[in-house]
Amino acid sequence: MRDTVADFLGKNDFSIQTIEVDAILDHFQRDMTAGLRGEPASLAMIPAYIGIDHPVPVGKPVIVLDAGGTNLRTAVLTFDAAGKPTIGKFSKFAMPGTQGTRATARMFYDALTAFLAPVLAEARSIGFCFSYPADITPDCDARLIRWTKQVDIPELVGAMVGGGLRDALAERGYHVDITILNDTVATLLAGKSSGLLRRYSNYVGFILGTGTNTAYVARNADIRKAPGLDPAGAMAINVESGNFNGVPLSTFDRLFDATTADPGVGTFEKKISGAYIGGLGLVVLQCAAREGFFSKAAADELLACDNLPNKDLDDFCDNPFIPTGVLSDMSFTDDDRRLIMELCTPVYERAALLTAINISAAVLQTGSGEDPLHPVCVTIDGSTYYRTKTAHLKSRVESHLRDILGSRNIHYELINIDDAPMIGAAVAGLTR
């Protein structure tokens, strides 16, 4: 079976052995440099207008609003003298425009103001972690470039999201300062502010959750598309790495991309992140079903399935006898079960390799890490990274990183901070 599966995947350009790591790394770095210069590139390379060296005030509360792909979270944070955060008044709501329902701009701002209402008396500033591609202004407002993660609020594309929220709050009598930042920039800041005893040479923030993205710190002198910056300074850059287009698409990637709300966009994200890997795996299974790989009953059920959440596929590949999820209701023989594991584990193996290439490109782009005294700090956040069981995703990424960065003598440290996006948003709200 293994050879037949390998032939089938190879024939559809889905063979991990053919991924050219060095060429993709070069392409990634070329696109990062071009994006910073304002030249055409698949990477938006968005300056965050957030420095990373401001001290965090002790004991001063800040409101955090965290708009992710699935949830909206609100909380009030304070930091102690050692930089340790306390998260209070935490609440979680569904993100408007998700779960298959379209929302209007009004609905979005109404929902945000209602969710914020119980904490608005606690502080005057809001650190707003906005996990979507958005151009940031020097005063840290954000113009939404496009939605990702299949969020459906079309009216907001092109709008200033911070200004909209400020106006909606002002209508209700609340006057606040809002600092917007991307979740990867927040994750990077959380790593920077965590008071670790190491002396790092540079910082990267990486997220692999519902979506994926990367931030790192660039020298202002290299951000040629933003003239007028202090050339001696540095700032965080939101790479928008989910839109990287330097990895060839397999037949399955093309077929799957055509089923999404935004074909041709975010094709890297669609290969590695939680909103998509289940759907991609389903396409692999359906193509295999059409080629006669499965029993008749299994093939019919797989072909009739129109949504396979990543969690269900991951749970199944980890334990095909688990009693929950979309696949648990289907009539599989043991051979069908083995086939699903054989066909879909490579989807996760490829995601791990591409994730490692992505993180490596950002670390190399910092130009730091040669000195073992001062490694690059890579703060990683996201449920897909930490919770995926199939292919031992996290440890596979770590192993690829040792190969790619270790062979280049680059020193780095991977760190995990609980609630990094919220903590980083609080830091930004307090220090701007």
List interacting residues with ligand BGC (CB under 6 A): 131-133, 148-149, 182-184, 207, 209, 211-213, 240, 242, 269
CB of 132 to ligand BGC, least distance (A): 5
Decide whether 327 or 359 has the Cβ nearer to ligand BGC: 359
DSSP string, 318-385: H-TT-S-SGGGGS---HHHHHHHHHHHHHHHHHHHHHHHHHHHHHHHHHT---STTSPEEEEEE-HHH
CB neighbours (10 Å) of residue 79?
A: 23
In this complex, which beta carbon is closest to ligand BGC, that of residue 369 or of residue 424? 424
Listed in sequence order, the DSSP H helices in 21-104 are 21-37
Provide, rounded to whole angstroms, the least separation between the CB of residue 267 and ligand BGC: 12
Non-local (6+) Cβ contacts of 363 within 8 A are 204, 216, 369, 376, 378, 405, 410, 412
Burial of 308 (0-12, 13-18, 19+ CB in 10 A): buried
Q: How far is the CB of 28 from ligand BGC (least distance, A)?
A: 16
Spatial distance between the Cα atoms of 172 and 188, rounded to a whole number of angstroms: 33
Structure tokens belonging to residue 228: 């007028």
**Least CB distance to ligand BGC at residue 130 (A):** 8
Strand ranges of the sheet holding 85-94, from the earlier edge strand across to the other edge: 85-94, 71-79, 62-67, 125-130, 177-181
Instruction: Kindly state the smallest distance separating residue 33's Cβ from ligand BGC, in Å.
Output: 20
Alpha carbon distance 313, 275 (integer Å): 12
What DSSP designation does 56 have?
P
Query: What is each CA distance from 180 to 59, 124, 185, 203, in whole angstroms?
Result: 21, 14, 10, 19
Q: What is the DSSP letter of 182?
A: -
Q: Which is nearer to ligand BGC, 125 or 184 (CB)?
A: 184
Comparison of 213 and 390: residue with beta carbon closer to ligand BGC: 213
In the complex, the smallest distance separating the C-beta of residue 388 from ligand BGC, rounded to whole angstroms, is 15
Sign of CA dihedral 65, 68, 72, 74: negative
Cβ closest to ligand BGC, residue 46 vs residue 330: 46
In angstroms, give the least distance from the CB of 51 to ligand BGC: 19
Q: Which residue, 42 or 182, has its beta carbon nearer to ligand BGC?
A: 182
Shortest spacing between CB 382 and ligand BGC, in angstroms: 7
Q: Which is nearer to ligand BGC, 273 or 360 (CB)?
A: 273
Nearer of residues 36 and 299 to ligand BGC, judged by Cβ:
36
Q: What's the number of CA atoms in the CB half-sphere (13 Å) around residue 124?
A: 2
With CA atoms as reference, report the closest residue to 351 among 417, 253, 261: 253
Q: How far is the CB of 424 from ligand BGC (least distance, A)?
A: 12
Residue nearest to ligand BGC (CB): 211
Q: CA-based angle 150:153:155, to the nearest 5? A: 140
Q: Of 41 and 289, which CB lies nearer to ligand BGC in the complex structure?
A: 41
- Minimum distance between the CB of residue 141 and ligand BGC, rounded to whole angstroms? 16
Helix (H, G, I), strand (E, B) or coil at 101: coil
In this complex, which beta carbon is closest to ligand BGC, that of residue 186 or of residue 426? 186
CB of 169 to ligand BGC, least distance (A): 23
- At residue 380's C-alpha, the angle toward residues 250 and 272, to 5°, is 10
Q: Contact, 316 vs 278, CB < 8 A?
A: no
- Name which of 242 and 375 has its Cβ closer to ligand BGC: 242
**Cα separation, 157 vs 145, whole angstroms:** 6
